[in-house]
Amino acid sequence: MEWKEISDILQRCGIKRNIDVSQLYLAKKGIVSIPDLSRFPMLRRLWVNNNKIKHISCLAVSCCLTELYLQNNALTSISGALGHLTCLKILSLHNNELRRLEESVRELKRMQCLHTVKPQYHHYVVHHLPSVKMLDRKEVKQEERTAAFQQYCPERHRVRQSLAFGRRAEAAPLTGTSFQMERAGASGGDTVIHG
Tell me the pTM: 0.63
| Domain at 13, CATH number | 3.80.10.10
Do 120 and 184 share a domain, yes or no?
A: no
Do 43 and 126 share a domain, yes or no?
A: yes
pLDDT in tens, 130-166: 888 888 778 888 988 888 888 778 778 778 777 755 4
Spatial distance between the Cα atoms of 117 and 111, rounded to a whole number of angstroms: 11
Do 59 and 24 share a domain, yes or no?
A: yes
How many domains are there within the chain?
2
Q: Which amino acid is at 31?
A: I
Nearest to 48 by CA among 64, 129, 65, 39: 65
Evaluate whether residue 12 is within a structural domain.
yes
Q: In which domain, by residue range, is 38 found?
A: 3-141
Evaluate whether residue 182 is within a structural domain.
yes
